[in-house]
Amino acid sequence: MTEVDRAQLERSIEAHDRSALNASVVVWIGAEPTFTDRSSEAPEWLSEALGEDKERRARQMITKLRERFPGAAVLRPLGRQYAGEPFPRFCYGIYARRDGQPVWSGPPDLLTDTPPKQPDAGALDGLRDALCDRLQRSGWFAAPCDIGEASVRRIVCRASGQPDCFDSAEDPRLARDSIHAARVTDGGPVDPLAAEGTYLILIHQGDVSSGNAFWLELPGFTDVGEYLQFLRELAAVCAARAVASLGLRGFAPPADDSVAWTTVTPDPAVLEINQAPEPSLQAFYRAERCIFELAQEVGLSPYRLQYNGEVSDSGGGGHLTFGGPSPAQSPFFVHPALLPRLVRYVIRHPALSYWFATPYVGGSSQSPRADEGLRGAFLELQVALEQLERIDSPTAETLWSTLRHFLADAAGNPHRSELNIEKLDNPFLPGRGRLGLVELRALAMPESLPRAIARVLLFRSILLMLAGEDRAPDLVDWGDALHDRFALPFYLQRDLSEVLSELAQAGFGLGRELEQQLLDRPNATLVSLEFAGARFQVEQALEFWPLVGDVASQEGGGSRTVDASTARLELRLCAPEDLAEQLDAIELVANGVRVPLRRESDTARATRICGLRHRSFVPPTGIHPTLHAAPQITLTLLHPEYPALRTVLHSWHPAGVAYPGLPLGLDEAAERRRERAVVERLDPTELPAARDPEPQSLTAYCLDLRRV
């Protein structure tokens, strides 16, 4: 991003925040950017969740974040755990106050693999006793608890100052092991003692994986003020006892609008940054810019380059979350009509689901639309939205309970939904279910910071607009056109342009530069050439891959098996309107079959367009076992007054040779894509006659070569 681009971006951000202030709608923004090592082909950077190098990069990022936020606390809470994984994944976090005041002045977490100097039992006892004494003198109740494993020192404390109301020597909950040594339950880690106001602190020796002399395991504090006070008292004790290093782990800390909690966690092929929500786009931009810069410093990228020049996102997506400074102040509760309007608006504009999505979209994907499930469910969604319309101010519980059945995948999983409301007002998700949040999951990781900010600006502007007026009062039923028409970039781009126009009309326009950031698809074009006064362009289109097997058998929390062997292209001919007759004289043939072209208009240009589906490979496990592959596509342009132009599209190097390695950058990737299209001019009289497509191979917007 040049300085001019940066200045323009920052002006647009400032203008957006002014519009939000004028609209009196409070929308906080969170994100989950993901990064990968695009030069590595190690399993941890291609498909696996865990790996030594990945954890090393996570520590590097946390170290750099700590440098950016002096006075922040480094924490290692319990990470996620999925079926088949013996232990929870690692998680590193930065906990900071938003007002800039320090959270932690104690000894550092060394974040290394250096073997620590092991403290003796007396040092453990001394730290425990000193912390108990300090807490007592600060008005807390605190006492040693001699129960459980002998190598672990335990403290029971209460911020209220009142002694515990039960016999600590007989309560089995006080003898529990470290939560890092046990499996995580489906509902996530829960601290029943903390819910009652009783905190159990565990202190034990460090180990090689931490590099620290001591571990202190924190309970599930529920109050930010109590948590910050405990950290202050702990830091003072460590200073008095000259503790050189200390690792803090255990339950995740409490958070409200006064603190920022950012974590770095592993996911298959990526590191995921769970970015602290921000109250304004300016604050979000500063945080996002910091994360992009630090990822680059540790050698991580927001995108991958494939051998054949194709560009994909990091592999982990780029989800966004929207909420408020507190659950009660969520814009979806303050403006109860907002969420139903958002559901209808996203269904009305498929570009919001598909234009920014990963290649894996549709009803079998990780983020299906509400209208991609069973037909009966969509009809019931209409009834649900009508019911919400009849209530003047539906409660948070009513909103969630009414829509939760429809914002889920085919197996009823609420996490796998384009509009994810599992953290809106969900009583079945302890600790995290009632945060007033809506997450947008149908988003790939953007390849640059400007594109990331432009996307956030788009969706936040939509929320601001819909909070004030209903732009989609009726639920649109796209039927077959959803996966036929809106598989093609031409129609998605047109649909997104309509959204941008509506935002401008409502006073939330993004500006020409950022709109162009959203509308461009710089890495999608496979062919672009001139023929008979027209521009012929081939772009990668969307395909909706089916699940192999049944949904229920693949509900383990990881990836699903789909048949990804079908690919779709968009074939487009464009010319100025005064040359439209020239367009109609051009015939397009694909693998010997005439391609029927739809008549469309694109601003001042006449356009002829069609989608083309084909099977690019035969998978080892997939549907249609007898269907052959067409790994290369031959496209021939014919005109009575010009030589024929033939383009052979190869999925790999035309000579079939191995590439010397992954592309070094986007320019080299673009060159490899260009060389996969072999173009030549021919005498049309030497070409075999084209045949018409069979009726079953045609839809309103597409020719399916698999059915020819």
The pLDDT score that the predictor gives to residue 164 is: 62
| Inter-residue contact 423 to 435 (CB < 8 Å) | yes
Judging by DSSP bridges, how do beta strands 73-77 and 419-420 pair with one another?
unpaired
| Inter-residue contact 398 to 385 (CB < 8 Å) | no
The pLDDT score that the predictor gives to residue 3 is: 46
Residue 699, amino acid: T
The pLDDT score that the predictor gives to residue 643 is: 95
Judging by DSSP bridges, how do beta strands 632-639 and 566-576 pair with one another?
unpaired
| Inter-residue contact 601 to 617 (CB < 8 Å) | no
Question: Do 664 and 598 fall into the same domain?
Answer: yes
Question: Do 298 and 152 fall into the same domain?
Answer: no
Question: Do 509 and 529 fall into the same domain?
Answer: no
Q: How is 163-230 classified by DSSP, letter by letter? A: PPSS-TTT-GGGG---GGGSPPPTT----HHHHTT-EEEEEEE--TTT--SEEEEE-----HHHHHHH
The pLDDT score that the predictor gives to residue 429 is: 87
Nearest Cα residue to 176 out of 160, 187, 192:
192
The pLDDT score that the predictor gives to residue 212 is: 78
pLDDT averaged over consecutive 10-residue blocks of the chain (708 residues)? Answer: 71 94 96 97 95 96 94 94 84 96 94 63 88 96 84 91 64 85 76 92 77 88 96 97 93 96 97 97 97 97 96 95 97 97 98 93 91 90 95 95 92 88 92 93 95 97 97 95 97 97 96 91 91 95 87 56 93 90 92 96 88 94 91 94 96 94 95 95 92 96 96
Domain boundary among 235, 260, 285: 260
> What are the structure tokens assigned to 240, written together?
């008095």
- Cα 568 to Cα 539: distance, rounded to the nearest angstrom: 9
The pLDDT score that the predictor gives to residue 665 is: 95
Nearest Cα residue to 191 out of 204, 203, 181, 201:
201
User: Max CA-CA distance within the chain?
Assistant: 98
Q: How is 649-675 classified by DSSP, letter by letter? A: EESS-TT-PPPSSS-SSHHHHHHHHHH
Domain boundary among 517, 533, 559: 517
Q: How is 37-96 classified by DSSP, letter by letter? A: -TT--SGGGTT-S--HHHHHHHHHHHHHHHHHSTTPEEEEE-----TT-SSPPP-EEEEE
Question: Do 304 and 247 fall into the same domain?
Answer: no
Question: Do 393 and 414 fall into the same domain?
Answer: yes
Element (H, E) at 144: strand 141-144
The pLDDT score that the predictor gives to residue 2 is: 46
Question: Do 183 and 64 fall into the same domain?
Answer: yes
Parent domain of 170:
55-260
Domain boundary among 517, 546, 563: 517
Question: Do 20 and 105 fall into the same domain?
Answer: no
* Phi/psi of residue 350, nearest 5 degrees: -60, -20
The pLDDT score that the predictor gives to residue 308 is: 95
Q: How is 404-440 classified by DSSP, letter by letter? A: TTTSS-TT--SSSSSEE-TTTS-TTSTTTS-S--EEE
- Cα 377 to Cα 406: distance, rounded to the nearest angstrom: 7
Element (H, E) at 277: strand 270-278
Question: Do 16 and 80 fall into the same domain?
Answer: no
> What are the structure tokens assigned to 128, written together?
């425990």
Query: Using H for helix, E for strand and C for coil, what is the string for 624-650?
Result: CCCCCCCCEEEEEEEECCEEEEEEEEE
How far lies 391's CA from each of 386, 388, 401, 463, 627, in Å?
Answer: 9, 5, 14, 20, 53
Question: Do 132 and 246 fall into the same domain?
Answer: yes
> What are the structure tokens assigned to 194, written together?
């903390």
The pLDDT score that the predictor gives to residue 688 is: 92
Which residues lie across from 208 on neighbouring strands? none
Task: Name the domain count of the chain.
Answer: 3
In sequence order, which residues have a C-beta less than 8 Å from that of residue 214 and are 6 or more positions away?
A: 119, 124, 127, 203, 204, 205, 206, 243, 245, 246, 247
What are the strands of the beta sheet with 632-639, ordered from one edge? 593-594, 587-590, 632-639, 642-650, 677-682
Question: Do 396 and 497 fall into the same domain?
Answer: yes
Question: Do 328 and 218 fall into the same domain?
Answer: no
In sequence order, which residues have a C-beta less than 8 Å from that of residue 21 and are 6 or more positions away?
A: none
- Cα 239 to Cα 262: distance, rounded to the nearest angstrom: 26
Question: Do 140 and 250 fall into the same domain?
Answer: yes
The pLDDT score that the predictor gives to residue 206 is: 72
Alpha carbon 451 to chain centroid, angstroms: 14
